[in-house]
Amino acid sequence: MTEITKDPRVVIFFVAVAAALIILAPIPGDGGLHSRLKYGLDLEGGSWLQLKLQGAIVQPQVDPINILDKQFGDALERPVEVEWRPGSTDYQITVEGRASKTLAEDLGYPQATVTPRGNATKITIEASPVGVIMNYLEASLDSDVKYLGSDPLSFEVRTNVTRESLETILGEVGGTLASGDAGFSEGVTEETVDETKQVLDRKLNRLGLQDIKVRVVDNKFILIDLAGVSVADAQEIVGKPGVFEIRIQTTGNESMHVLYGDEIVDVSLPSGDQTGNWGVPFTLSEEGALAFQKAAVDTGATRNRMDHEISMHLDNELIFSAPLAQDLAASLEVAPMRNMVAQIGGDSQRAHELYIHLREGALPVNVEIIGSGQVTAALGDQFKKQVLIAGIMAILAVGLVIYFRYREPKIVIPMVATSFSEVLMMLALAALLKWQLDLVSIAGIIAVIGTGVDHLVIITDELLYEGKMPSDKIYLARLSSAFGIIMAAAATTIVAMLPLFGMGFGAFKSFALITIAGVLIGVFIARPAYGRIIGRIMQGGE
């Protein structure tokens, strides 16, 4: 026996089993001892939600000059003349009489100059054709619109919209949508789906609901399982934004409150300039702009920018901090500023995260709850008991079949013990990685027990091919042959599971993940040790 305990395969096996027992050992907590295992909705009880992402990919065909003619003509209630030179970065708008200096800003064009010329006024706005179309769609739909590309010109509308309503809006400026599905396709881009999922993940994690299953289906639907949470609480968690706050540094590490997120009336998508620096434009309400100006002047941030940084917090967590830009500080000395840009630098990912936070943690697209349901805690407890019974019966059934085949306790006991140890190691891995165990995961574990016993039978039959244990040399050759078969079978199982895992859809992914993990644990830890142990037992060696 001394020899076998020095075998590295056996040592690894016993170390892994010991580690699994330590991981699975109950830990003290509120109300007594608790397991490290995480249970899914069907074992813990809780609720589930089905969300539909509202949005569309569109290809508008419209002349930006017609848009500006309508926007400024309607606002001024008199005809205007719009000029644009191909390749230019600005539009020239001329109107008879006087125009308000804030007219362009009110229409969504903050970079504008208003110049009186005799009996007329010339308005120059800095905007590209794409920017004009985006501005018109955002104002008409009261929604974020994301530019996707120019060949062909396409946008993502992040709200519930129909082809008919969009064609009506474009028809007012002499435009239309491209024909067919290319012109209007319900759904959003994968990037927006991922962004929505990230918001949900962060929101749920902030509330202490780690490892909540948030799954995406067909870029249109998101499925969420919230174990231990009621339907009403789940709907509030998903739909309610976090508390967003802007503060300003006073002295040292101290800061004072300036305004909450409800004073931010608009947030635009992040944009980068020619030097690669990213910024997130946002607009304050009049009251918010006054409060921000007063705080900046009173604290001295307009005169000593570096010692009075502006910080942004979401649910009391710092998400952004930077001093005022020099030109913004100078402007705030004179008047309140509604339109601002939070400058991020060259990190586009951080810019997108700040964009989400500026929306008070709101989802980037509107969602509709199209389904919900609840599993009671009592039913979850019942499922746990049934699953435990099913697992025990599976191992006993396996032991019974093995006994009828070999009728040798010294073969049956190591086989059953090896299968049981694999279950322990799979559960320990799930606890360590905080996987949620649900009914499908348990089904995967039971399936692994079956395939594992198949492999153990292959090893045993190879070693007892002639009804007795062979010499050491032949024993090692047969063991190697058995492992060739086992590795091929394991590879086949893993390859079969990969498409299910790649689908990333709920039950399929859980089943595939636990099955792949179980097969790898068996092939690289349990089976090699079993081959050595059963060989030594059958030889009766010491």
User: Residue 309 is part of which domain span?
Assistant: 246-343
Q: Do 40 and 93 belong together in one domain? A: no
Q: Do 106 and 8 belong together in one domain? A: no
pLDDT of amino acid 542: 40
**Can you tell me the mean pLDDT for 433-455?**
83
Q: Do 323 and 417 belong together in one domain? A: no
pLDDT of amino acid 500: 77
Q: Do 461 and 429 belong together in one domain? A: yes
Whether residue 461 lies inside any domain: the answer is yes
Q: Do 29 and 69 belong together in one domain? A: no
Q: Do 522 and 419 belong together in one domain? A: yes
pLDDT of amino acid 89: 78
pLDDT of amino acid 541: 44
Lowest mean pLDDT among 277-281, 357-361, 390-394, 451-455: 357-361
Percent of the chain residues topping a pLDDT of 70: 86
Residue ending a domain, among 186, 208, 229, is 186
pLDDT of amino acid 346: 78
Residue ending a domain, among 289, 324, 343, is 343
Whether residue 69 lies inside any domain: the answer is yes
The larger pLDDT score, comparing residue 47 to residue 100, is at 100
pLDDT band at 163 (very low <50, low <70, confident <90, very high): very high
pLDDT band at 331 (very low <50, low <70, confident <90, very high): confident
Q: What separation in angstroms does the CA of 460 have from each of 273, 396, 471, 542?
A: 68, 19, 15, 20
**Can you tell me the mean pLDDT for 452-456?**
86
CATH for 330: 3.30.1360.200
**Can you tell me the mean pLDDT for 24-43?**
74
Whether residue 89 lies inside any domain: the answer is yes
Residue linked to tokens 């008199």: 78
Whether residue 139 lies inside any domain: the answer is yes
**Can you tell me the mean pLDDT for 464-486?**
74
The larger pLDDT score, comparing residue 168 to residue 477, is at 168
Query: pLDDT per residue over 35-72, tens digit each?
Result: 788 776 666 666 777 888 888 999 999 999 999 999 89
Rg (the chain; Cα; Å)? 33
Q: Are 422 and 449 contacting, i.e. CB atoms less than 8 angstroms apart?
A: yes
Half-sphere exposure of 71 (CA within 13 A, CB side): 27
pLDDT band at 213 (very low <50, low <70, confident <90, very high): low
Lowest mean pLDDT among 79-83, 211-215, 405-409, 427-431: 211-215
Alpha helices, DSSP H, located in 213-339? 231-239, 286-299, 326-332
pLDDT of amino acid 461: 82
Q: Are 57 and 187 contacting, i.e. CB atoms less than 8 angstroms apart?
A: yes
Q: Do 74 and 180 belong together in one domain? A: yes
Q: Do 304 and 416 belong together in one domain? A: no
Whether residue 313 lies inside any domain: the answer is yes
Strand (E) or helix (H) holding 267: strand 264-267
Alpha helices, DSSP H, located in 271-408? 286-299, 326-332, 348-358, 377-406
Q: Do 62 and 36 belong together in one domain? A: no
Whether residue 362 lies inside any domain: the answer is no
Output DSSP code: residue 179. S
Helix, strand, coil % in the chain, rounded to nearest 5: 50, 25, 25
The larger pLDDT score, comparing residue 370 to residue 184, is at 184
Whether residue 380 lies inside any domain: the answer is yes
Lowest mean pLDDT among 84-88, 190-194, 228-232, 518-522: 228-232
pLDDT band at 137 (very low <50, low <70, confident <90, very high): very high
pLDDT band at 239 (very low <50, low <70, confident <90, very high): low
pLDDT of amino acid 431: 86
Q: Are 426 and 518 contacting, i.e. CB atoms less than 8 angstroms apart?
A: yes
Count of structural domains, the chain? 3
Q: Do 13 and 73 belong together in one domain? A: no
Whether residue 368 lies inside any domain: the answer is no
DSSP string, 211-260: T-EEEEETTTEEEEEEET--HHHHHHHHHS---EEEEEE-STT-EEEEEE
Q: Do 401 and 526 belong together in one domain? A: yes
**Can you tell me the mean pLDDT for 118-130?**
87
CATH for 41: 1.20.1640.10
pLDDT of amino acid 175: 93
Q: What is the residue type of 222?
A: I
pLDDT band at 154 (very low <50, low <70, confident <90, very high): very high
pLDDT band at 367 (very low <50, low <70, confident <90, very high): confident
Rounded CA-CA distance 199/201 in Å is 5
Residue linked to tokens 């899914």: 40
Q: Are 124 and 113 contacting, i.e. CB atoms less than 8 angstroms apart?
A: yes
pLDDT of amino acid 478: 79
**Can you tell me the mean pLDDT for 1-26?**
84
> Bridge-partner residues for 281, per DSSP?
341
pLDDT of amino acid 101: 78
Alpha helices, DSSP H, located in 79-172? 103-106, 129-141, 163-171
pLDDT of amino acid 505: 54
Torsion sign across C-alpha atoms 226, 230, 236, 242: negative
Q: Do 432 and 335 belong together in one domain? A: no
Q: Residue 262: pLDDT above 80? A: no
| Residue 35: CB atoms within 10 Å | 13
Residue ending a domain, among 320, 343, 366, is 343
User: For the whole model, what pTM was predicted?
Assistant: 0.57
